[in-house]
Amino acid sequence: MKKPNLITKISSLIIVFSFLIFTACSDDTTVLEGESTKDALATLEKMHFNISTAKETHFMGEDGIAVEDMFFSYAQIDEMSSDNSSVNTKHYRTTNLVSVRGSSREITVSVDPDLGQIGSDALDGMIAMYNNENLELTFRRVAFGGKGKRKANIEVTEFFEQESGGFITLGRAAGFPTRKGDPAKGFGINSRWFELLNPSLAEVTGTMAHEVGHCIGFRHTDYMTRESCGSNVNEGSARVGAIYIAGTPTGSDASSLMQSCGPADTFNNNDKIALDVLY
């Protein structure tokens, strides 16, 4: 979905939460070749991802493939199992969720100092957004770069990637919750977005909240069509599950923070229902 307040700056550039065309080259990007990579691409294609935009990369300490709005390590791709969930227009979650031990669970988060003051302020805003919902999950900020038990459960890192084909990466999530019930280990925010379009604090906060949604088990609200990106492509269950969340609408939800593409930067009522049902 186009964001009118940004299109006035660059009329040909479509801004999305994370749905990108990945064709820009960088030092940590390699040509997609080799039998193991071809097998991984075949798996992603069966999951209804658009592999024509995929690229092999090293992200958050692991090798894998960046495709559309996600990064999957080769280990994650190998672990993905079949899922036959039906396709509808509702809020969805993955098969794996973050486990809550007792009455609540604290999730620690940290942000890369390279994202500057806006990144720091956006992290605080994102934490407040989730904690204000009084969930069983609570979020607390810790220092970035910790080791062992001091390392954040979810790290927000900086990466730099040029715009390509009229799209630019805003954020890239490192998968979904693990089988052990832990959140995905984090996501990246593209600093090129900052220098190119000077996003507002609300936009960066909303993007972080969207990516945290993936880390704790939320799929895109419009995963069946990606209509918010001007597409008609079914992501499929992505072999990580696409399970309907009870109480959410059966029609399109254009203002959901979990739409594939912006411009939402806050939770709408249906997002809040979905959070309440799961956590």
pLDDT at 160: 92
Question: 86 CB contacts (<8 Å, ≥6 apart)?
Answer: none
Question: For 165-184, how does the pLDDT look when each residue is reduced to its tens digit (9 = 90+)?
Answer: 677 878 888 788 888 999 99
How does 97-116 read in b/e, with b if 16+ C-beta sit within 10 Å?
Answer: bbeeeeeebebbbbbbeebe
Laid out side by side, the sheet with 154-159 consists of 29-30, 55-59, 62-67, 70-73, 171-173, 186-190, 154-159, 105-111, 137-141
Mean pLDDT of the chain: 76
CB atoms within 10 A of CB 130: 21
Mean pLDDT is lowest, of 12-16, 38-42, 86-90, 272-276, for 12-16
Alpha helix stretches (DSSP H) within the chain: 4-7, 35-46, 74-79, 116-131, 191-197, 201-215, 269-278
Highest mean pLDDT: which range of 11-20, 41-50, 114-123: 114-123
Q: Which band of pLDDT confidence, cut at 50, 70 and 90, is reported for residue 120?
A: very high
The pLDDT score that the predictor gives to residue 241 is: 46
pLDDT tens, residue by residue, 187-242? 999 999 999 999 999 999 999 999 999 999 887 776 556 666 765 444 444 444 45
Nearest in space to 48 (alpha carbons), one of 218, 197, 219: 219
Give, in order, the Cα–Cα distances in Å from 154 to each of 51, 175, 198.
27, 11, 25
Q: Report the pLDDT value the prediction gives residue 4, as an integer from 0 to 100.
A: 32
User: Is residue 256's pLDDT more than 70?
Assistant: yes
- In this prediction, residue 234 carries a pLDDT of 43
Radius of gyration of the chain (CA): 17
Is the pLDDT confidence value at 1 over 80? no
**Does 252 have pLDDT greater than 90?**
no
Spatial separation of the C-alpha atoms in residues 273 and 245, rounded to whole Å: 9
Q: What is the pTM of this model?
A: 0.75
Domains with residue ranges and CATH for the chain: 4-278 (3.40.390.10)
CB–CB of 236/54 below 8 Å? no
